[in-house]
Amino acid sequence: MITINEHYNKLQASYLFSDIAKRVTRYQDENPDQTIIKLGIGDVTKPLPSACIAAFHKAVEEMASAEGFRGYGPEQGYEFLREAIAEHDFRARGAEIANDEIFVSDGAKCDTGNFQELFSPATVIAIPDPVYPVYLDTNVMAGRTGTFSDGRYKGVVYLESTRENNFVPALPTQPVDLIYLCFPNNPTGSTISKEELKTWVDYARQNKALILFDAAYEAFIKDESLPKTIYEIEGAKEVAVEFRSFSKSGGFTGTRCAYTVVPKDCMAYKGDGTRQELHGLWNRRHCTKFDGVSYPVQRAAEALYSREGKQQSEQLVDYYMKNAELIRTAMSELGFSCVGGDNSPYIWIEGKMDSWKFFDLLLDEAGVVCTPGAGFGKCGEGYIRLSAFNSFENVSLAMERIKDSLA
C-alpha cells in the first residue's frame, strides 16, 4: 500500500498566491468588463534589459553551431557567472566570497525551500511572522512542525515582527537551531541595520545555530548605511547562507535565475557534536537533484554585471521604486499607516480592518489586487501588502481608484 506523507495534510489550504489567483479569476469571470490592476504577487512587468536580450540571443546562436553547442553544464553554474557574482556582489563590497561558494539555480523560492533538507527532523526552526510562506510550508512538509491550531504550527518558534519592534524581530528567548531572516523584508518591506543584523550573527555563533538569509530584494536598498549582504557582518561566513535572485532586479521572474552562497566556513553539527561543512552537503544535494540553469539564461544573467547591464538594472529598480513611493504617499494620505516602499518594493499597510475583508473591498470596489497580510501569518492580520511591480500608469490608476472607493 502506498501511503502519503501525512505532513502535507497539516498544510493550510492552497499556497497563498494560488489562492489569490483563483479568487481574482472568479471575480474577473463575474465582472468581465472590469480591468483588474494587480499589485498582489511581486511579479515584474517591464521587459528584460537590452543587455540581457543581446547576451541571450548571442548564446542561442552559439548553441546553433557544432563548435558553440553545449550539453549539460556544471550543476553549480558556469564559471563566468559565478566569477561575476562573487566579484561584483561580494568582493567589491569587501565580503571575501570565493567563486566556488556560489551555487547558481533557477530561483530563490526553490533554494530557500530546499535548503532545510540538509537538517535533521528534530531541528528547531525560528520563523518570522509575518513571513514569505515558502520557509514555513517546506518545513511543515518535512515534518519539522506539529499540527496547525489558532494560526500557528506547534513546535515552531515564531519571531514576531510588529509595529512595536519596527518589524525587526527580537532574538528568540528559547534555543533554536535554524533561523530564517529576510531583509529587505517580504512582506513588510522593513530593513535591518548592520548593528541589528550583528546581534543575529552573534546569537547564531554563540548557539551553534544557522541563519538562512534571504536577500532577494537587496537591489532595492537605497540607504547606503544598510547591509546589502549578511557577509558584511563579521563572523557571518561561519553561520549564514545567503539567497539572492535576478527575478526582481533583472526582470527574471519568467526567465529564472538565482543563486545561493554557501561559504566553506559555514558549519552544522553531526549527532555526536562534530562539525561538518555545509558547502559539501549542499553541493551533493544540488548535483543530485538539479542539472543547472540553461547556458543562454546564465549568459543573460552575466550581462547584468556589464556596465550597460548594471545601468539598465538600476533603471528597472528605480522605475519600480517610483511606483513604491507613489503607493506609500497615496496610502499615507488616505490615513493608513505604511511601512516599506523606501528600500523595498513592498508597502505594508495597516488596513484598519480584517485583511481578507480589505482584500475583497479593494477588488470589489477598485478592481485592485493586493495580498492580504493574514496570508503571511498571524501577525499579518489587519494588514495588506501592495507591490510596486506594475507600470507607473497602472499604479497611478490603482491609487486613484482606491481613493475614490474609500472616499
Q: Which residues bind ligand MLT (CB under 6 A)?
A: 41-43, 109, 132, 186
Backbone angles phi, psi at 246, to 5 degrees: -95, 0
Least CB distance from residue 35 to ligand MLT, whole Å?
21
Q: Which is nearer to ligand MLT, 82 or 385 (CB)?
A: 385
Least CB distance from residue 107 to ligand MLT, whole Å?
8
Q: Which is nearer to ligand MLT, 76 or 112 (CB)?
A: 112
Least CB distance from residue 43 to ligand MLT, whole Å?
6
Show Cβ contacts of residue 33 under 8 Å, excluding neighbours closer than 6 positions: none
Residue 96, CA distances (Å) to 86, 183, 264 in order: 8, 21, 11
Least CB distance from residue 16 to ligand MLT, whole Å?
8
Least CB distance from residue 238 to ligand MLT, whole Å?
28
Query: Under a CB-based contact definition with an 8 Å cutoff, are residues 283 and 103 in contact?
Result: yes
Least CB distance from residue 220 to ligand MLT, whole Å?
13
Q: Which is nearer to ligand MLT, 42 or 250 (CB)?
A: 42
Q: Which is nearer to ligand MLT, 36 or 41 (CB)?
A: 41
Q: Which is nearer to ligand MLT, 16 or 55 (CB)?
A: 16
The C-alpha atoms of residue 317 and residue 221 are separated, in whole angstroms, by 10
Q: Which is nearer to ligand MLT, 103 or 135 (CB)?
A: 135
Let me know if 231 is exposed, middle or buried by CB neighbors in 10 A (0-12, 13-18, 19+): buried
Alpha helices per DSSP H over 119-193 = 133-141
Query: In the chain, what is the straight-line distance between the N-terminal and C-terminal CA atoms, in Å?
Result: 60
Q: What is the dihedral sign for C-alpha 54, 58, 63, 68?
A: negative
The C-alpha atoms of residue 163 and residue 308 are separated, in whole angstroms, by 40
